[in-house]
């Protein structure tokens, strides 16, 4: 099995979820005591979050590119970024290493397209919902992304940063997400992307009236596919 290199720490809860999903998938496929060969470099989310707020995407890209280099030098055969939002700087990371960078949006889009869905709602951080990088990458696969209106985007974002990244899960926040998903379906969305790793700490498939595409799980499955090939 090839070695998976993971850039983590955004937040550490999301990195733990990646580690769990990858290793559970390997055990399911191979049985026994098998688990994935992997390396992880964990950055300090406080530093990255401050750069996000300041709009210092170049600085954040530099930090994550350096993490990718460490992973490559450590023997990683592929690199993955354990966060949706920071795929904004995926090009910077990809350019820093020679081993493949496995893009989360591609893994998610291909599963959506395979389901015959062309219009999806996106729940994610404000950066992911409002900046073009995610929707434009989805559009390459023939998929249109719809986001909540401004008030809904703020609600989704604040719950992620103010609660989920701190390990706080509230029933009223789950109810708020459910209402936002219903609104997206009423706008014609045939599916919902859970486009932030921490979102699955709050809601799952049963909370959505249409099929859910958990970007974290789909990304993890793609990594295991490639590591096993």
User: Which residue numbers are catalytic?
Assistant: 83, 196
Whole-angstrom Cα distance, residue 96 to residue 43? 17
Whole-angstrom Cα distance, residue 51 to residue 164? 19
Q: Cβ(123)–Cβ(146) under 8 Å?
A: no
Whole-angstrom Cα distance, residue 121 to residue 215? 13
CA angle 147, 148, 150 (to 5 degrees): 115
Structure tokens at 141: 């696969």
| 3-class SS of residue 89 | helix
The secondary structure element, H or E, covering residue 81 is strand 78-81
Structure tokens at 218: 């789909």
Q: Cβ(67)–Cβ(97) under 8 Å?
A: no
Q: Cβ(22)–Cβ(57) under 8 Å?
A: no
Q: Where are the beta strands (DSSP E) in 128-170?
A: 144-146
Whole-angstrom Cα distance, residue 124 to residue 158? 10
């Amino acid at each position: 099995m090839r070695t998976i290199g993971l850039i983590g720490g955004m937040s550490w809860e999301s990195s733990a979820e990646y580690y769990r999903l990858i290793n559970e998938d390997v055990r399911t496929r191979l049985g026994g005591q098998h688990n994935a060969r992997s390396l992880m470099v964990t950055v300090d989310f406080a530093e990255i979050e401050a750069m996000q707020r300041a709009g210092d995407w170049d600085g954040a890209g530099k930090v994550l590119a350096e993490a990718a280099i460490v992973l490559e030098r450590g023997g990683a055969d592929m690199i993955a970024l354990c966060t949706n939002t920071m795929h904004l700087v995926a090009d910077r990371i990809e350019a820093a290493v020679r081993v493949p960078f496995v893009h989360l949006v591609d893994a998610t889009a291909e599963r959506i397209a395979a389901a015959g869905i062309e219009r999806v709602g996106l729940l994610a951080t404000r950066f992911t919902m409002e900046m073009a990088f995610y929707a434009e990458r989805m559009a390459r696969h023939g998929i249109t992304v719809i986001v909540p209106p401004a008030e809904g985007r703020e609600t989704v974002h604040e719950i992620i940063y103010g609660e989920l990244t701190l390990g706080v899960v509230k029933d009223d926040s789950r109810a708020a997400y459910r209402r936002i998903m219903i609104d997206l379906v009423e706008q014609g969305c045939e599916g919902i992307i859970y486009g932030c790793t921490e979102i699955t700490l709050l809601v799952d498939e049963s909370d959505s009236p249409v099929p859910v595409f958990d970007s974290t799980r789909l990304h993890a499955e793609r990594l295991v596919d490639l590591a096993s090939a």
